[in-house]
Amino acid sequence: MNRDDRNLPEACGGNAAPYVLGALSREESDAFCRHLDTCTICRDEVAALQVVASALPAAAPQLKAPSDLKRRVMGAVQMDAQTAPARPRPRAAGRLSHRRPALAALAVAAAVVLLVAVVLAPGGGSGMRVIRAEVRAPGASAVLRVQGGQAQLMVSRLPQSPLGRVYQVWLKRSGAPQPTATLFTVSSRGAANVGVPGVGHGVRELLVTAEPIGGSLRPTRAPVIVARLS
């Protein structure tokens, strides 16, 4: 992608809603994560949709969905988004008037987030778990998506790590938390999308602490994020 085009609506691929729903393939998800690093438009869309997506799975009943349900629902979403009539925007609306998804398409995507989050709840056809983590920072939130031993931690409004420190992910089975090589910082808005391997059988908690740059072998501070898997 041309760096000069990274914030233009036409440079985006329309993957925000499928990304939040976990409907992208591994390759598509990795590519979209790289795109999010440079695209403020898609980051705003993901943040808006994640509010809905992260709130529902914990309250949804655990239902067995048909294996092709996600494909059919996402196909309907894409068709509705493509056929939603474009409405003229006043020029005074600024950058928001040029955002790629029209408000109608965003509403459709949000509605589908509601539907899929309920039907494809943990234990459903997707095999993916969505866990809302406990975050010990006012106003911050974090969601952990786990599938097939791989996990992705999505945080928002998390304070910058203290000077000389970086956030480190830990996995706890039995006994003391074990360090991982996953270190991260957050954007100016406190956002980060972090891939965490090794979240397989026996992992009871995922924790995040602020450690010296380069990481630690043992936690030196209390966790700021705790995601309980069991």
Say yes or no: 42 and 149 in one domain. Answer: no
Say yes or no: 102 and 147 in one domain. Answer: no
Domain count, the chain: 2
Q: Is residue 33 situated within a structural domain?
A: yes
Say yes or no: 57 and 39 in one domain. Answer: yes
Banded model confidence at residue 192, pLDDT cuts 50, 70, 90: very high
Q: Is residue 124 situated within a structural domain?
A: no
Q: Is 116 exposed, middle or buried (0-12, 13-18, 19+ CB in 10 A)?
A: buried
Say yes or no: 203 and 151 in one domain. Answer: yes
Q: Is residue 11 situated within a structural domain?
A: yes
Say yes or no: 14 and 97 in one domain. Answer: yes
Other C-beta atoms lying within 10 Å of the C-beta of residue 44: 16
Q: Is the pLDDT of residue 186 over 90?
A: yes
- Is the distance from CB of 122 to CB of 64 less than 8 angstroms? no
pLDDT in the model for residue 184? 95
Q: To 10 degrees, the CA torsion angle through 59, 226, 157, 194?
A: -100
The arithmetic mean of pLDDT across residues 192-210, rounded, is 93
Say yes or no: 107 and 154 in one domain. Answer: no
- Is the distance from CB of 19 to CB of 46 less than 8 angstroms? yes
Residues spanned by the domain of 84: 3-119
The arithmetic mean of pLDDT across residues 110-133, rounded, is 58
Total-model pTM: 0.50
Q: Which of 199, 197, 194 is nearest to 183 (CA)?
A: 194
Q: Is the pLDDT of residue 90 over 80?
A: no
3-state helix, strand, coil in the chain (%, to 5): 35, 25, 45
- The residue that leads in pLDDT, 182 or 58, is 182
Q: Is residue 35 situated within a structural domain?
A: yes
Mean pLDDT estimate for the chain: 74
Helix, strand, or coil here: 104? helix
Helix, strand, or coil here: 2? coil
Say yes or no: 7 and 111 in one domain. Answer: yes
Distance, C-alpha 93 to centroid of its chain: 28
Question: What are residue 84's phi and psi, to 5 degrees?
Answer: -65, 130
Q: Which of 76, 96, 100, 72 is nearest to 86 (CA)?
A: 100
